Amino acid sequence: MNTSEFTMFLATSKDITKEILEFFAKDEDRDIREALASNPTTPMEILEILAKDEYYLVRASVAQNSNLPKEILEILAKDENFWVRALAAKNPKTSKEILEILAKDEDYLVRAYTARNPNIPKEIQEFLAKDKECSVRASVAQNPNISKEILEILAKDENWSVRV
């Protein structure tokens, strides 16, 4: 194992001290920061720092962190990068209020990832089931918690140009 591999291993370890995690949060290697951002044991203070990282894939990794507090998800849901917003939309901890905003995002991928969120309320499912983009409507159909009523709306959709 070389130095870089060992550092990556440490950054993703569950048994690592907060001091070492803080050190890695300032590492110039963005892959190390990205690995740290995805570590579910990374403390909130460090995730807050990484949520403002200059590199969008670090912020995207933060957005996928399973222990991410809602406050940080709110910041990431407003990110300039569509991929960060999309991954924030997909996170099951994203609040209904934020999902409502992301359901109206200008980028279709953000709306599609919003549609895939397992905790999306029925009224947002219904809104996205009428989206102009077929891939967004298909994402609604793929949601494991889709309501029967929404499925019926989608089944009557005559504008399916792609099958997902």
The pLDDT, as a whole number, for residue 16 is 75
Residues 6+ apart with CB under 8 A from 24: 7, 10, 11, 32, 33, 36
Other beta carbons within 10 Å of 68: 22
144 DSSP 8-state letter: T
**34 falls in which pLDDT band (50, 70, 90)?**
very high
Rounded to whole angstroms, the Cα distance separating 7 from 54 reads 21
pLDDT for 43-61, tens place per residue?
Answer: 999 999 999 999 999 999 9
The whole-model pTM stands at 0.86
Q: How many CB atoms lie within 10 A of CB 115?
A: 29
> Which has more pLDDT, 151 or 127?
127
Is 60 exceeded by the pLDDT of residue 162? no
Average pLDDT, the chain: 88
- Inform me whether the pLDDT recorded for 164 exceeds 60: no
Burial class (CB in 10 A: 0-12, 13-18, 19+), 16: middle
Q: Report DSSP letters for 34-103, one per residue.
A: HHHHH-TTS-HHHHHHHTT-SSHHHHHHHHH-TT--HHHHHHHTT-SSHHHHHHHHH-TT--HHHHHHHT
Give the Å distances, CA to CA, from 130 to 53, 75, 109.
35, 27, 15
